[in-house]
Amino acid sequence: MRVSSLLGVLLALILAASAVDAATPLTALNGEWQGGGTDRDGPLAAPQPTHCRATIKTDPTHLTSTTQCDGETGLAKSFRLSVAFTGDRFTGSVEQVSSVHGGPVTRYAGTVSGRRDGDVASFTARFGGLTPSAYVVLTLTSPTAYAMRVRVLGSTLTDVTLRRR
């Protein structure tokens, strides 16, 4: 369940890139991003304030990102995302590593696929086995900011806004 919320932040960065107006080159997303909102370890955990930092590297058809989110009550998540774009669709891979209060580390690896429709991008992160898929919706709010919401098993895990640094 933790994987879904961490992956959500990282995937949000990728979706933000695909949600940008078609005239805006993907390479405009290169750089450092930061933001915050709320996150939780699983659907039954209490939401906690979180702060995130991300680095995005792109070329006209690929995007990679590394993200670190630190919750105020001990939830730490980091993930790597790599996607390729074909028109309004994208596919790729994601890896998430998380822990709570420095406890045991949990690692998830999976695939992502999705599409954009105007200023909204939506995608699914699949992890295999019994780990539930994460559903992510990204809404571009300006050329330098986007909102991301991640849902797992019908519950919102992550709700953050990231801005260019």
Q: Looking at residue 10, what is its pLDDT?
A: 45
Q: What is the mean pLDDT of the chain?
A: 81
**pTM for this one?**
0.79
Q: Looking at residue 126, what is its pLDDT?
A: 95
Q: Looking at residue 93, what is its pLDDT?
A: 92
Q: What CATH number is attached to the domain comprising 16?
A: 2.40.128
pLDDT of 115 strictly over 50: yes
pLDDT in tens, 6-40: 454 444 444 444 444 443 456 767 789 899 999 98
Q: Looking at residue 87, what is its pLDDT?
A: 85
**HSE-CB of 104 using CA atoms within 13 angstroms:** 3
| Domain, as residue range, for 136 | 2-40+47-164
DSSP one-letter string for 129-141? TTPPPEEEEEEEE
DSSP one-letter string for 9-53? HHHHHHHHHHHS-TTS-GGGG-EEEEEEEEE-SSTTSPPEEEEEE
Which of 91, 60, 65 is CA-nearest to residue 79? 65
Q: Which residue has the tokens 């849902």?
A: 151
When divided into structural domains, the chain yields a total of 1
Identify whether the C-beta of residue 110 lies closer than 8 Å to the C-beta of residue 129. Answer: no
pLDDT in tens, 32-85: 989 999 998 888 889 999 999 988 898 888 888 888 999 999 999 988 889 888
